[in-house]
A and B are shown apart, each in its own frame.
Chain A
Amino acid sequence: MSGTFTKSMARNIFYGGTVFFALLFLALSFDTMKEIPKRDNRANLTESVIAGKKLWEVNNCIGCHSLLGEGAYFAPELGNVYPRRGPEFIKAWIQAMPTGAPGRRQMPNFGFTDKELDDLVAFLKYSSEINTANWPPNIEG
């Protein structure tokens, strides 16, 4: 902060630096868009998966669970619930909610139809097959 370093120099470095790093970020993002088809499991993005993602959203599942580590931390990670539990267990579990066990965390019953349960499971299967650089560290999520 010596006398030779003026405000207008600081301002110019701010604008120059910001533009440079914003462009670098855009370039990396552009490259990411080219690279992710190899990792994001888009080949399996079926109608059922898309319907399942919407059910996931309109029931605010992310308000308790995490998915690929993002969301709330109140209930288990579901990015790998498909290999952890398997489709039949997942459906039976969702239908059995809430447990009503006193003092335990409760999940609402959403009254899903059989088709909706299949869609949700399809979405969770698709999510589990995304290449996440080997995350989570183990099957417990």
Chain B
Amino acid sequence: MQYKSQAVAKPYFIAAIALFTGQILFGLIMGLQYVIGDFLFPAIPFNVARMVHTNLLIVWLLFGFMGAAYYMIPEETETELFSPKLAIAMFWIFLVAGALTIVGYLTVPYATLAKLTGNDILATMGREFLEQPLITKVGIVVVALAFLFNLTMTMLKGRKTSISLVLMLGLWGLAIFFLFSFYNPHNLVLDKFFWWWVVHLWVEGVWELILGALLAFVLIKVTGVDREVIEKWLYVIITLTLITGIIGTGHHYFWIGTPEYWQWWGSIFSALEPIPFFAMTVFAFNMVNRRRRDHPNKAATLWALGTGVMSFLGAGVWGFLHTLAPVNYYTHGTQVTAAHGHMAFYGAYAMVVLCIISYAMPILRGRAANSAKAQVLEMWSFWLMTVSMVFITLFLTAAGILQVWLQRFSDTPISFMAAQDQISLFYWMREGAGVFFLIGLVVYIISFFVKGETKAAA
């Protein structure tokens, strides 16, 4: 570690992995409920399991992003963190608030939780992904502001690199767009319109800046390619991201009561959204091929290449599959959407966080890279989780296509539940792939405890 204060990243990374594990366990519960409908009912109804699954995803990625920023910013700005104490305090506040929220979901009926936590003062709950109680939402804003203050102050006193600038832009954007979660008009169309300003402008907007910055940082470190080259690529990629992704928001405005011109704007611009992801894949492979050093951390390099490929497949290709309005007319709100969501989140965000953890964690533990034995295990976990996710996506896509045919396209459409019964085989196979994903995750966690010969970090 070059700067002592980078050490604050470590608890963030550990928490991220722990919450990731929780997310996968609840995913398996939901997957089983798809085929054994009354599994764990009424103890954990599906809606509760889903809320835990998606909220844990968001929170663990946020922990990962924060840890990454605390690790990267001192090194990029060549100065110690403004306040390591504040970073640690925010860690505990965020962790406790997050844990209490999950406990609340699991132990109290949601309507009671809403009553207890002030939803009558300002109703913000009960909207997909933004289910958090008002006090949790306020807590997220407080933690985010303290975090941004800490990093911005660090940057002001140090070197200003493009990577750190892009990262900070992404993180500030994340905080600013989250503020739309406090706006919940009675008018359903307006509600949905601005809900996407959080959800879409996060995952298909500012989060991609964070993704690009993390990937660029790791690539500089493991390949030794000149910073000027990597940062130029970074700017090109995020330019493509935002000029396609901002208007690309329109692909959510096809069928929710918004004007029909969005079908054109949304289709055309979101059809271009795969381009930045393709550029990212080319970028990652190009930089690794032009490497000027052989970094001992092979696992981190694998995650970096994997992020490029899987985000292109998940976000790019699977997004394109159903983004054109005439196609989306049939696929909107089916398992096709679920298929895309799974591979896109894994390929883009889960993998980039695992990539920075893979690179930084050994250094935080006092060595340049893990032992060969530990790395081999980590690479096994990479393949197990990634291949499982490919199969989860393929099975959900098959389920989705059949669902569209049975319920929406055929001459004799059948009801939602009748269609679900017809496609249950694919849900079983998805659950099987999910079990392999969990095995991959267990292998991943074990890899942290495998000893072996290592070289001390520089």
Q: Is B228 a contact of A7 with CB atoms below 8 Å?
A: yes
Q: Give the distance in Å from the alpha carbon of A107 to the alpha carbon of B37 in the complex.
A: 10
Partner of B239, one of A18, A22, A24, A64: A18
Q: Give the distance in Å from the alpha carbon of A14 to the alpha carbon of B208 in the complex.
A: 14
**Which chain B residues in 373-425 approach chain A with CB under 8 Å?**
407-409, 413-417, 420
Partner of A25, one of B229, B246, B255, B329: B246
**A94 adjacent to chain B (CB < 8 Å):** no
**B36 adjacent to chain A (CB < 8 Å):** yes
Q: Shortest distance in angstroms between B21's beta carbon and chain A's nearest beta carbon?
A: 22
Partner of B246, one of A5, A22, A66, A73: A22
Q: Shortest distance in angstroms between B182's beta carbon and chain A's nearest beta carbon?
A: 14
B contact patch SS: helix
User: Hey, what's the 0/1 contact readout for B44-73 against A, CB within 8 Å counting as 1?
Assistant: 011110110000000000000000000000
What's the tally of chain A residues with a CB closer than 8 Å to chain B?
A: 74
Q: Answer whether A21 and B247 are a contact pair too, CB < 8 Å, given A31-B259, A63-B47.
A: yes
Q: Is B333 a contact of A40 with CB atoms below 8 Å?
A: no
Partner of A59, one of B37, B126, B265: B126
Q: Give the distance in Å from the alpha carbon of A58 to the alpha carbon of B126 in the complex.
A: 5
Q: Give the distance in Å from the alpha carbon of A105 to the alpha carbon of B30 in the complex.
A: 11
**B249 adjacent to chain A (CB < 8 Å):** yes
User: Hey, what's the 0/1 contact readout for A93-108 against B, CB within 8 Å counting as 1?
Assistant: 0000010111111111
Q: Is A11 a contact of B162 with CB atoms below 8 Å?
A: yes
Report chain A residues within 8 Å CB of B111.
Answer: 58-59, 110
**B452 adjacent to chain A (CB < 8 Å):** no
**B256 adjacent to chain A (CB < 8 Å):** yes
Q: Give the distance in Å from the alpha carbon of A25 to the alpha carbon of B250 in the complex.
A: 9
Q: Shortest distance in angstroms between A29's beta carbon and chain B's nearest beta carbon?
A: 8
Q: Is B417 a contact of A76 with CB atoms below 8 Å?
A: yes
Q: Give the distance in Å from the alpha carbon of A28 to the alpha carbon of B231 in the complex.
A: 32
**B445 adjacent to chain A (CB < 8 Å):** no
Q: Answer whether A140 and B247 are a contact pair too, CB < 8 Å, given A40-B188, A40-B257, A102-B38.
A: no
Which residue of chain A has the shortest Cβ distance to B119 in the bound complex? Answer: A58
Q: Is B123 a contact of A14 with CB atoms below 8 Å?
A: no
Report chain B residues within 8 Å CB of A77.
Answer: 333, 416
Q: Is A127 a contact of B232 with CB atoms below 8 Å?
A: no
**B127 adjacent to chain A (CB < 8 Å):** yes
* 15 more CB-based (< 8 A) A-B contacts, given A13-B235, A62-B47, A135-B329: A10-B239, A17-B239, A18-B246, A20-B243, A32-B262, A40-B187, A40-B190, A63-B46, A66-B333, A70-B128, A73-B335, A105-B38, A126-B188, A137-B329, A137-B330
Name the 9 nearest CB pairs between A and B, nearest first: A63-B47, A57-B126, A69-B333, A105-B37, A135-B255, A10-B235, A40-B189, A76-B416, A69-B332
Task: List 23 A-B pairs, Cβ < 8 Å.
Answer: A10-B236, A17-B243, A22-B242, A25-B249, A36-B258, A39-B257, A40-B187, A40-B189, A45-B187, A57-B127, A60-B48, A61-B126, A62-B47, A63-B46, A73-B337, A75-B416, A77-B333, A103-B37, A106-B45, A107-B45, A133-B254, A135-B332, A136-B333
Task: Name A's B-contacting residues (CB within 8 A).
Answer: 1, 5-7, 10-11, 13-14, 17-18, 20-22, 24-25, 28-29, 31-32, 35-36, 39-42, 45, 49-50, 53-54, 56-64, 66-77, 98, 100-108, 110, 126-127, 130-133, 135-138, 140-141
Task: Name B's A-contacting residues (CB within 8 A).
Answer: 30, 33-34, 36-38, 41-42, 45-48, 50-51, 110-111, 114-115, 119, 123, 125-128, 131, 162, 184, 186-190, 192-193, 228-229, 231-233, 235-236, 238-239, 242-243, 246-247, 249-250, 253-263, 265, 329-330, 332-335, 337-338, 407-409, 413-417, 420
